[in-house]
Structure 1
Amino acid sequence: MQILVMTDKLDFGGAEMYFCKLENFLQDPKINFYFAAGQGELYGKIKNKHRFYEMSRTNHIQNVMNLIKIVTAEKIDLIHANSLRMVLYSICVKKMTGINFKIVYTKHNVTILESKSQRVFTYLINKYVERVITVSDYEKNSLVEAGVKAKKIKTVYNGVDLNQFVFHRKAKEKFFNIGILARLSEEKNHELFIKIADQLRDKTEFMFYIAGDGPSKQKIINMIDFYKLSHKVKLVGAVQTPEEFIKGMNLLLLTSYREVFPMVILEAMAVGTNIISIDRGGINEAIIEKHTGFLIGSHSAEDFCRKILQMESDELIRNHHIENARRKVEDDFSLERMVKNTLREYWNC
């Protein structure tokens, strides 16, 4: 079998990191793998460059024509699309060539087409996509409710490389570090993170760290200045080694307005960093309340603060969550499990 795995671009992001994991670790003696993506910072992580095709980030017609050449020359049997755009490219190639390859679509987020015209989105998936891989059961159930045929959908959880995200037991230190690692954008709700820091400003042992980059950076800086928290809240910028940032935190917060299934949760569970998260999307499939972390039902700074104070004061709770979280990652969210289950879906098409 000849399989082409594609994604939009090689910037830092959930879908892009997922693509890189597949590129690095997919192996099957009966399958030849090829890969295609737009330019980006993650290009250095590509291992099989002799089987990698670079796509344009803006010229869609050129991309479709190049894909026709690849599909024809390599006799592709299946395309694994890691964005809806890649699905649309694949449909165009099928229409223009008449080649009956199969399409597998891993759905990482809510698409623009889906939010604007759910009927069109559902029609395209049901008609042209052989298999939809969702990264959480929450997303799977949402697709079924939208009208996508249930038999097409399979949840394959994203996997953590446990050799990269190594478990680290923290020593008692002077400061209790509380962090957030997310794109600096509106949906990640850094305003709530800063309000939490403001309410806990008198706890001198607490320090707050914001990792990431994005369009809301200046707004976040302005908020920190407004609350006079520059001594308490630090921006560390984009991080190339997320495992080091997460490992350096005693507690990781997730405050987003919406999520599907954020990878940073699994990474924190792997390295031994406690988590308090908003309960959105499929997060509760990894964070089991009072077992692997704490879940907050609403965007309430007061509720977050209560759980933070409880976590900081009770070492038994912290250790209980840490040990259970690491065990759950090993059992359910390992990279090896993700690759194995993805291969299974290829063969089941």
Structure 2
Amino acid sequence: MSSLQVGGAERFVIDLCVEQRAQGMEPEIISLGHHDDPLVAVAEELNIKVTVIRGMKGLVQLRLWQAYRRHPIIHMHSPSAVMLSLPILPFCLERKIVYTRHGAARLATNRWRKVHRFARRFIDSICFVSEEGQHIFHEEHGWEHVDSSVIDNGIAMPEEKDIVPHPQDGRLRIGSVGRLVSLKHQISLLEAIRLLPSDIQQKVEVHFFGTGDQLAPLQEFTQQHLANAEVVFHGMVSDRSKIYNCFELLAMTSRTEGMSLAIMEALAYKRAVVASKVGGNGVLVQEQQNGWLFDFDDSQKLAEIIQTALAEPQRLIEFGRAGRQRVLDEFSLQRTQQQYQKVYEDFGTSI
């Protein structure tokens, strides 16, 4: 159960379903979004069954229960899915219920505390994509008696033939991939570009892939402060080869992050990464091996890294090779699916 809007968790759900189907399972995605959400079409193109449920709350919950009855395993991928399912959970005792927390936010309001206090009686296993997320959740909500594990996200690896080599043209193309929301803090990337000397700005391109409520503020900042730099807002793009072959360096500027699918995918496409030192970013990005790390909101340090990347294009190529090998070794989708399969099979239901 997941929305099919724009985000790494949503892409992961689709990839996981593809892998599960290859292993003989029959996954179905239940989405609480809209029929025209971008990733609904992606899932349908892959012949993954998608049921979109919308309407009045009571009717939605009835349809959810009808959908849940079709499957012995219910895997929820968002707190909102858990909250909406609360009245149904007592009727799902014969089903295995797994809850994956893809982020590391504390969910510390009274509302979320009540949701998780009730839900813990019916959820059999909770999974996290980072140790930080696991620690924060248990510190805030308890759940000491619920099976808990950390399962790294994994990705479907692109083939070598689908990876475009870096152009050696004296320019640096930087990509930002993800929702344009305050949590992702993309404004710090633009602030770093503003700190560059004007002659350096002219050699830098920034490509944003994604949509969200911060689109207008980011566009306004660009118009006011970055006349010398080329900044392109591509909107929602589903083709990952078009995204990652568009730049040489991925910039991840988030305030919090789990195990970023965007970072994994960039590494798989032999792209170096510069990322804020939060959540799972420090697990994926190894300093001076496949990229760089900087303190959250330190635009000055980010600007310095950008200048280094522009001056040393060969280093970007070396980082890219090392990054792809690491993803192959440690973050394959097959490995992730096998770990979830173990969660599905190892523990009984909440009866």
TM-score range, shorter chain: 0.7 to 0.9
Match of 1:82 in 2: 77
Kept in 2, the 8 Å contact 1:164–1:243? The answer is no
Q: Which is bigger in relative contact order (C-alpha 8 A, separation at least 6)?
A: 2
Q: Deviations over 1:136-165 (max 9, x none)?
A: 222122223232327621122222211379
Q: What's the secondary structure of 1:173's corresponding residue?
A: coil
Deviation at 1:29, TM superposition (A): 7.0
Identity of aligned residues (%): 19
Structure 2 residue corresponding to 1:304, chosen from 279, 296, 302: 302
Alpha-carbon spacing, 1:186–1:51, altered in 2? closer, same or farther (3 Å): closer
Q: Distance in 1 between matches of 2:328 and 2:218?
A: 35
TM-score by length of 1: 0.86
Q: For 1:85-234, what aligned pairs fall within 5 Å after superposition?
A: 85-95=80-90, 97=91, 99-109=93-103, 113-116=107-110, 119-146=113-140, 147-149=142-144, 152-163=147-158, 166-200=162-196, 201-203=198-200, 204-229=202-227, 231-234=229-232
Question: Does the CA contact (< 8 Å) of 1:198 and 1:227 recur in 2?
Answer: yes
Counterparts in 2 of 1:128 and 1:235: CA distance versus 1, 3 Å: same
CA shift in 2, pair 1:218/1:251, >3 Å: same
Question: Cα 1:234–1:321, aligned 2, differ >3 Å: closer, same or farther?
Answer: same
- 2:312 is matched with which residue: 311, 314, 339? 314
Q: Distance in 2 between matches of 1:50 and 1:143?
A: 31
Q: CA RMSD in A?
A: 2.7
Distance, in Å, in 2 between the alignment partners of 1:273 and 1:319 is: 8
Q: What SS does structure 1 have at the residue aligned with 2:88? A: helix
1:234 is aligned with what amino acid?
Answer: V
Q: Is contact 1:197-1:232 (8 Å) kept?
A: no
CA deviations over 1:324-343 (Å, ceiling 9, x no partner): 21111111111222222211
* Aligned with residue 9 of structure 2, among 4, 15, 18: 15
Superimposed CA distance per residue, residues 7-43 of structure 1 (whole angstroms, 9 cap, x where no aligned partner): 2x32222222122123322148785544322332222
Unmatched tracts of structure 1, length 5 or more = 1-5
Alpha-carbon shift at residue 250 of structure 1 (Å): 1.6
**2-side partners of 1:35 and 1:124: how far apart?**
24
SS at match of 2:169: coil
Partner AA of 1:190 in structure 2? Q
Q: Name the residue aligned to 2:62.
A: 65
Give 3-state SS (helix, strand or coil) of 2:31's partner. strand
Q: Tell me, in whole angstroms, the C-alpha distance in 1 between the residues paired with 2:220 and 2:23.
A: 55
Q: Say whether the 8 Å CA contact 1:83–1:106 is kept in structure 2.
A: yes
Shift of 1:244: 1.6
Shift of 1:110: 5.1
Instruction: Note if 1:43 corresponds to 2:37.
Output: no
Gaps of 5+ in 2: none
In structure 2, C-alpha distance between the alignment counterparts of 1:282 and 1:124, rounded to whole Å: 28
Listed one character per residue, the Cα deviations across residues 43-96 of structure 1 (whole Å, up to 9, x for unaligned) are: 22335868543311x533212212333344x3x32211112232234442232x
Preserved contact between residue 259 and residue 281 of structure 2 (Cα < 8 Å): yes
SS of equivalent to 1:159 = coil
Alignment of 1:280-299 (within 5 A): 280-299=278-297
Q: What is the DSSP-based 3-state SS (H/G/I as helix, E as strand, rest coil) of the residue aligned with 1:170?
A: coil
Amino acid at match of 2:152: Y
Aligned partners of 2:120 and 2:146 also within 8 Å = no
Asked if structure 2 preserves the Cα contact closer than 8 Å seen for 1:24 and 1:46, the reply is no
**CA deviation string 1:164-216 (max 9, x = no partner):** 79544323124221222222222222221111111223213222222222112
- The CA deviation at 1:258 is 2.4
Structure 1 stretch displaced more, 166-175 or 189-198: 166-175
Find 1:25's aligned residue among 19, 38, 59. Answer: 19
Amino acid at match of 1:66: R
1-side partners of 2:23 and 2:208: how far apart? Answer: 44
Matched length = 339
Which of 256, 260, 263 is the aligned partner of 2:261?
263
Where 1:180 maps in the other structure, the secondary structure is strand
Structure 1 pair 167–115 and aligned structure 2 pair: CA distance change class (3 A)? farther
- Residue 277 of structure 1 aligns to a residue in which SS? strand
